[in-house]
Amino acid sequence: MSFGSPYMTIPKFSYLKPNSISEAIELLEKYGDDAKVKAGGIGIIAFMKERLTSASYLVDLKGIPELGMVQESDGYLRIGATVTLRRLEEMRNLKLMALHEAVSSIADPIIRQSATLVGDTCEAIPWVDAPPALISLGAYAHVAGKKGTRDIPVSQLIKGTGELSIDSGEIITGISIPESGGNSTYVKFSSGSEYSIASASVNVNPKSKELTIVMGAVAESPRIFNQSTVEWKWGESVEKNIRGVWKTFDDRLEPMSDMLSSSEFRMKISKMVVARALKDLFGGA
């Protein structure tokens, strides 16, 4: 991600490749803010080239075998920190449609061969695709540090642009997504560039009548709308309900203005992508 002329080099650092999570945590403890974590490397290498971030030590997680695993257990799909987007995209039995659609829309197939789901999430740039999908699906991030491990809902992980609610010395070892959820979809509008103007991830559980709408690229962190903020009348037509969602957006979405789009235009696009996503799930032209 670059807005100016690119740098061809990366400032000097020492490359470290631990073989276990505990070894990685020790390195992060030892070097503190001088150390940065790398998984696929697409984000961190781009940021370091652009001099947007720097590190004296780069800790590569790819040498830790357990972080490269995808496991299904107790109704959860657990995705390790170094699992590439390409691998998730190619999982034929992936039931989580919002995740599949979000993952296969990130960058291009060659970048997806290197980039990881956890890496995309940790970039925490407004327009990244994984967070809205993960939040709508009710995903958790597993965090490991010197004090032990803890889980944070992805909805609470991203505080703002490039800001995560984890402490220095902690690493995200993976993400777990409940597979019990209902039907989901992910729609984005990116006007031909890689930066979305707005994206919508919708998850609906027809049995429990729960609806979650997560809007990406409209604010510093994804905006979440659920039963408490959106009034969805289950007997009503999709069109009528979509107008209800639009009304909620008018009152509460407050899309940001930036170099890609004005707030007004972003509102229009937000309404368009959410309508498309809802029609995908509930039917309607």
Nearest to 61 by CA among 3, 139, 119: 119
Build a one-symbol-per-residue string for 112-151: x at contacts with other proteins by CB under 8 A, - elsewhere. Answer: -xx-------------------------------------
**Which of 110/285 has CB closer to other proteins?**
110
188: its two tokens: 């984005």
Shortest reach from residue 182's CB to other proteins, in Å = 28
Burial of 179 (0-12, 13-18, 19+ CB in 10 A): middle
Q: Can you tell me the distance from the alpha carbon of 272 to that of 248, in angstroms, rounded to the nearest whole number?
A: 14
Q: Can you tell me the distance from the alpha carbon of 85 to that of 121, in angstroms, rounded to the nearest whole number?
A: 11
- CA 270 to each of CA 24, 48, 153: distance values in angstroms, whole numbers, following the listed order: 40, 32, 24
CA torsion angle 2 85 204 180 (round to 10):
-150
Shortest reach from residue 267's CB to other proteins, in Å = 29
Stretch that binds other proteins, among 9-17, 21-29, 67-75, 216-224 (CB under 8 A): 9-17
Beta strand pairing status for 14-16 and 57-60? parallel
Q: Which of residues 46-105 bind other proteins (CB under 8 A)?
A: 46, 49, 58, 60, 62
Stretch that binds other proteins, among 110-118, 164-172, 210-218, 257-265 (CB under 8 A): 110-118
Question: CB of 18 within 8 A of CB of 12?
Answer: no
**Which of 195/232 has CB closer to other proteins?**
195
Partners of 70 in beta bridges: 79
**Which of 105/176 has CB closer to other proteins?**
105
**Which of 59/133 has CB closer to other proteins?**
59
Shortest reach from residue 52's CB to other proteins, in Å = 12
Which run of H or E residues covers position 178? strand 171-178
Backbone angles phi, psi at 190, to 5 degrees: -130, 15
Among 39, 42, 253, 277, binds other proteins (CB under 8 A): 42
Shortest reach from residue 226's CB to other proteins, in Å = 33
Show the beta-strand stretches assigned E in 179-238: 183-189, 198-205, 210-216, 223-225
**Which of 7/209 has CB closer to other proteins?**
7
Shortest reach from residue 192's CB to other proteins, in Å = 12
Return the half-sphere exposure (C-beta side, CA atoms, 13 A cut-off) of residue 203: 29
Shortest reach from residue 37's CB to other proteins, in Å = 14
The answer to the question of residue 2 lying near other proteins (CB under 8 A) is yes
Q: Can you tell me the distance from the alpha carbon of 87 to that of 103, in angstroms, rounded to the nearest whole number?
A: 10
Shortest reach from residue 124's CB to other proteins, in Å = 19
The answer to the question of residue 107 lying near other proteins (CB under 8 A) is yes
Shortest reach from residue 129's CB to other proteins, in Å = 15
The answer to the question of residue 41 lying near other proteins (CB under 8 A) is yes
Q: Footprint of other proteins on this chain (CB under 8 A)?
A: 1-2, 6-15, 41-42, 45-46, 49, 58, 60, 62, 107-111, 113-114, 194
